[in-house]
Chain A
Amino acid sequence: MMHRILDTMWGQANALFAPFRRRRWVDLLLVAAAFGMLYGLILLGHEWTALQRPQIQVDLSPLALPKYTFFSMMRGLAAYALSFVFTLMYAYWAAKDARAERLLIPLLDILQSIPVLTFLMPLLLVMVALFPRSNVGLEITAILTIFTGQVWNMTFSLYHSLKSVPSEFHEAGTVYRFNWWQRFKWIELPFATTGLAWNSMMSMAGGWFFLMINESLTVGDKDFRLPGLGSYMSVAVEQGNGRAQIYAILAMILMIVFLDQVLWRPIVVWAQRFKVEDTVQNEAPSSWFLDFVRGSRLIRRWDLWLARQRRARAHRLRHRARERTGARRAERVAPWMALGALAVVTVLLLVGTVGVYHLLAHLPGKAWIRLLKADALSLSRVMISMGIGVAWALPAGLAIGLSDRLSRIFQPVVQVAASFPAPMLFPTVIALLATLKVGLGWGSIVLMLLGTQWYILFNVIAGASAIPSDLREVATSFNFGRWQRFKELYFPAIFPYLITGCLTAAGGAWNASIVSEYVSLKGYTLQTFGLGAIVSQATADKDFALLAASTLVLAGTVVLFNRMVWKPLYRLASTRYSLSK
C-alpha cells in the first residue's frame, strides 16, 4: 500500500517538473554544435579565398589540430556530397538507358582500377591554371582526389540495387501510373538505400587513404600545401617530430570514431527501415546519437513543421494534372537528352584516347618492358600481402566471429582500423623495418598489408557470425573434428565473404603500392622497383607519358585480374557456396 502512495506522489511530482526536465540540454547542445560548425565554416571560407602561397606554415602545436582536423573533415564531406550526386546520376543513367549501359559500366570498371594518384597531377595543373591566385584550385583538387577514392564503389552499389529492384515493385508502379520521378522516389531509391548507406560508410573510409598526399601536393619542383590533418602529418614526418605524429594519428582516430558515431551509424540505423526482407535480424543495429537527436524538442518541432509544409503542398497540388503533364513531358524529352549526353561522353572518350595514344607513341619499347617487369613485381607483392592477410585474418576472424562475446568487442575496433589511412603509420613502420634490416622491396609488402588486412578480417568476422546455428549443431552433434569442421563447414560458409574481403583488399593493395614502394621521409625518398613507384615517380617528375603508360598497365592488370580471377570466384561463391538456398 505504502509504495502505491509513494508511486502516485512521485508521479505527480514528476509531472510538475516535466517541462523543466524535458531534454532541454539536448537542444542546447545541438544549438552549440551548430554554432561551432558555423565558426569552422567561416574559417574555411577564409582559407579558400586566401592567397596561394607556395608553402604555408603548418603549426605543429596540438592546439592547432582541431582546426586542421575540421578542415580535413570538411574536405572529406564535400567530396562525399559530390560522390553522392555523381552516383545518383551515373548509376541511374546506366541502369535506365540500355545503350549507355554498355559503355558506362565498362568505363566505370576501368575508372575504378585507375589509381587515385593518377588523377592528381593533371587535375592539379588544370586547377592551378584556372585559379592562379587563390587556394580555390588547390582545395578543389584535394576534394576531387578524395572524390575519386570514394565514388566508384558507391556508383556500383547503386547501379546493382537499381538493377535488382523486384519486378513486382515495378509492376505496382506501372499499375498505379507512377511517373519516373515518383518511381525513383518511392520505389528505386528506398530499395537501394540500405546498400547505399553501407557503401557510403566504406567509401568514405577509402577516401581518407591519400589524405597526406592530397594536402601536400608535390608536382615537379612545386610544393603545394593545404592546411589540414594530412599536411600536419606530412610536416611532422618531414621534421621527424614523433610527438606531433602521434597527435595526428590520435586526431585521425578521433575523427573516424566521431564520423562513425555521429554520421554513419545513425544513417545505417535509419536505413534499416528500407530493408526489404522480412527476416528478423538477431540484433538490429542501434545508435545512441540517433536516439539522442530524436529526443530533441527542436528536431521534433522541425519534423512537425516539415510535415505541415508537406500537407499544405499536397493540398495545393490537388490539381495533380499539371504536375503530371510536366513529368510526362520530361519523360518524352529524356531519351533525347540521354542520347546527347552519351554522344558527349563518347566524343570525350575518343579525344582522351587519341591524346593518350599520342603521349604513349613517344615512349620507347624499352620503357614498356621495364613497366611490365615492374608490373610483375608489384603484382607478386600484392599477392604475397594478400596471402599473409588471409593466413592470419582467416583463423583470427573465425575465432572472433564464432564467439558472440569476442565479436562484440572486436567488431568496432576492426571497423575503425579499416577506416584508418594506413600511410599515416608508414614512417613508424619503416623505421621499425630499418632496425630489422628489411629493405623497402619486402618492406612495401608489410606496408600494403597494413591497410588491407582489415578488409579481410572484417569480412571473415561477418561471415563467421552469419553461419546458421543448425549447421553448427550438425557439426557438434556428429562430433566433427577441428579440421573437418573447418574444411566442411567454416571455410565453405565464409567463402563468399572471404572473396568479397579479398577483392576489396586487392584493390586497396594496388592503391597502396603507389605509396608503399615510394616513400618520402624527412626530406629524402625511399623507393624500390615496382609499378607503384613508377606512378609516384612520374607524378613527382611531371612525366605525363610515363604516368599515362604506367596507369594503363596498372589499370589493365587490375581489370584483367578482376575478369580472370575474381569474377569466376565470385560466381562460384554466389552459386555453390551461397547459404540463401
Chain B
Amino acid sequence: MIHAVNASHDVICELKGIQKSFERGTGKPLRVLEDINLDIRANEVACLIGPSGCGKSTILRIFAGLIEPTKGRTYYHGEEMKGLNPGVAIVFQNFALYPWMTVESNVKTVLQAKGLDEETIKAKANRAIRLVGLEGFEEAYPRELSGGMKQRVGMARALSVDPEILFMDEPFSHVDALTAEGLRAEILDIWDDAERNPSSILMVSHDIKEVAYMADRIVVLSANPGRVRTIVENPLPRPRDMRSPEFLRLVDQLHDIITSAELPDVEVSAPEPSLLPDLVEPLPATSSSDILGLLEYLETQGGTSDLFQVAAATHVPFEKVLVSVKGAEMLDFVDTPKRQVILNALGQRFVRANMDDRKDIWKAQLLELRLFRMVMELIELHHGELKEDELLSELQQRLPMENSEQTFDTLVTWGRFGEIFAYREERGILTPE
C-alpha cells in the first residue's frame, strides 16, 4: 500500500531511527532518545512537547546538527546530512547573546560568519532588527535589556541569516507572560509571509496553550527514554483565539493525551514480587513540599479539582503539576480518575493533621513503597552509614531507565520530610534518623 505522504507536503528535514545516549562519568550511559522518526515539512509550525527529560531539546539539536545521534540518520531535502544543517537558525532558551557586543554587533556577527560583504551585512542586519521591532536599540548592550527584548535580539539574529527553518528552544520560558503573548503573535506574522523564509518553524515547549496556539503539528513525547508518543494535527484556522471553544477543546485533548501517558487510569498490576525481586518503583521528580502544596490546594478546593485547573490557578507549569500529582498518587493521598484529582480519606487526614502527625503518616506511606524499604535495608546492611555512591549504583541497576541522580535527590527530600533517614551532604552518606 502506497501512501502519498511526500506528494502533499515537501519534507525539509527528517530523522530516521534516531537513538541517543549520553556518557556519564560512572556506570552505564544514559539513554535519552529511542527510535525517533520525525520530519519537518515545508510551511508548517511543528512543536515538540513532553515532560522534562523526554529529550525535546536533544531532538532539536540533532535536527540542527549540533549533536550527533548515537544511531540513526538525519536527512536534509532527501540527502543524508553530515555536520551542521545548512537551513537552520536557532533561538535559544537563555538568549545566548554575547554580552560584550551591542545588539547590532550580535546580529552582524552571524552574518559575518557567512562571509558576506559589509554592505549586505548592514542591510540584512537592519532588516532583521526592524522586523522584530528593535530599532533604536542597536547600540544597547544585552545587559541593558529586559528578558523580552533580549529574546527579540535572539530572534533578529536568527532571522537575519534568512533560515529555511527557524528552531526555537523554549524561547519564551524566560520571558514574562504578557511579553511572550506578543512575541508569539509576532513570530507567526513573520512566518506567515509566504514569500519569505522561514518556511517552517520547529519549536520546543512545555506550555500546552502555547503549543496549541502556534503549531500545525504537535509532537507529544514521553520520557525515559524519550519516544514519540503521538502526533496531533492542529487544524484550527489562524489567527487563533485562545478563548474559542475549539481552541479550549484542543487544549483539553492535549491535556488528556499527556495525562494518560503519565497517569494511566488502567491499574498497572504490580509484578509479582517473587518473580521480579529487583524491581522498585520509579519516583516522579517532585519535592515533598510540592506535594504538600498540591494537597493543601486541593483542600481549599473542597478536595477535588481538575489537573488543568490546578496548573492554571497556581501558575505552576502543567508538567510540574503532573509530577506532583503522580507523587501524591504514589503515596496514596489522591485518586486520579481521568483528569480529576481527588483527595482521598488518607489525604484528607494528612492535610488536616498537625505537623507531627503529618510526618508520621508520610513516613508510614513511604515505607509502603518498595524503594524506601530497600533504602532502609541498605542502610542497615551498611551499619547505619549508606554511601551516596553505593545507593546511586543500586538505583542505576534497579531503575536502568531513570536518571539515578534525580531519583536520589527526590528520594532524599521525601525521606528527610518523613524523617526516616538523614542525609549528610558533605559526607555523602545516609544515616538512620
Contact = CB atoms under 8 A, between A and B. Distances in A.
Interface of A: 4, 11, 14-15, 18, 22, 270, 272-273, 294, 468, 470-471, 473-474, 476-481, 484, 488-489, 492, 495, 576-579, 581
Interface in B131-161: 141, 143, 157, 161
B383 A18 contact: yes
B161 A478 contact: yes
A477 B381 contact: no
Contacts of B141: 576
B254 to A, nearest CB: 28
A478 B110 contact: yes
Given A294-B427, A468-B94, A480-B109, 6 more contacts: A273-B426, A473-B61, A473-B92, A476-B84, A477-B66, A477-B89
Nearest to B112: A484
Nearest to B154: A474
Given A11-B381, A488-B101, A476 B96 contact: no
B114 A479 contact: yes
16 contacts: A4-B277, A15-B383, A18-B383, A470-B92, A470-B93, A473-B96, A477-B64, A477-B84, A478-B161, A479-B84, A480-B110, A484-B109, A492-B98, A495-B100, A578-B99, A581-B99
Given A476-B66, A479-B113, A488-B109, A577 B100 contact: yes
B125 interface: no
Contacts of A294: 427
A470 B94 contact: yes
A272 B426 CA distance: 9
B158 to A, nearest CB: 9
Contacts of B113: 478-481, 484
Nearest to B65: A477
B202 to A, nearest CB: 13
Contacts of A11: 381
Contact of A474 (B61, B92, B426): B92
Contacts of A273: 426
B68 to A, nearest CB: 12
Interface in B87-129: 88-90, 92-94, 96, 98-101, 109-110, 112-114
Contacts of B90: 473-474, 477
Contact of B98 (A14, A272, A471): A471
Nearest to A11: B381
B89 A478 contact: yes
Q: Is the contact region of chain B dominated by helix, strand, or loop, or is it mixed?
A: loop
A490 B109 CA distance: 14
Interface of A is mostly: helix
Contacts of B110: 474, 478, 480
A576 B140 CA distance: 12
Contacts of A474: 90, 92, 96, 98, 110
A53 B98 CA distance: 64
Interface string B171-185: 000000000000000
Interface residues of B, number: 29
A492 B141 CA distance: 14
Contacts of A581: 99, 143
Contact of B96 (A4, A471, A576): A471
A163 to B, nearest CB: 23
Nearest to A581: B143
A474 B101 CA distance: 14
Contacts of A22: 383
Contacts of A479: 84, 113-114
Contacts of B61: 473
Interface centre among A471, A478, A481 (most CB of B within 10 A): A478
B88 A477 contact: yes
B98 A489 contact: yes
Contacts of B383: 15, 18, 22
Contacts of B66: 473, 476-477
A470 B96 contact: yes
Contacts of B64: 477
Interface string B401-429: 00000000000000000000000001100
Contacts of A476: 66, 84
Contacts of B427: 294
Contacts of A14: 381
Contacts of A576: 99-100, 141
A267 B427 CA distance: 14
Interface centre among A473, A480, A578 (most CB of B within 10 A): A473
A179 B285 CA distance: 43
B89 A579 contact: no
B423 to A, nearest CB: 14
Interface string B54-97: 00000001001010000000000000000010001110111010
Nearest 10 A-B pairs (CB), nearest first?
A470-B96, A478-B110, A492-B100, A480-B113, A474-B96, A477-B90, A577-B100, A478-B113, A470-B92, A11-B381
Nearest to B169: A470
A428 B66 CA distance: 49
Which residue of A11, A15, A471, A489 has the most chain B CB atoms within 10 A of its CB atom?
A: A471
A479 B89 CA distance: 10
B397 to A, nearest CB: 13
Contacts of B98: 471, 474, 488-489, 492
Contacts of B94: 468, 470
A22 B112 CA distance: 65
A3 B99 CA distance: 58
Contacts of A468: 94, 96
B371 to A, nearest CB: 17
Contacts of A470: 92-94, 96
A13 B287 CA distance: 37
Interface in B361-381: 381
A489 B99 CA distance: 10
A489 to B, nearest CB: 7
Contacts of A270: 426
Contacts of B426: 270, 272-273
A78 to B, nearest CB: 29
Nearest to A479: B113
B208 to A, nearest CB: 25
Contacts of A471: 96, 98
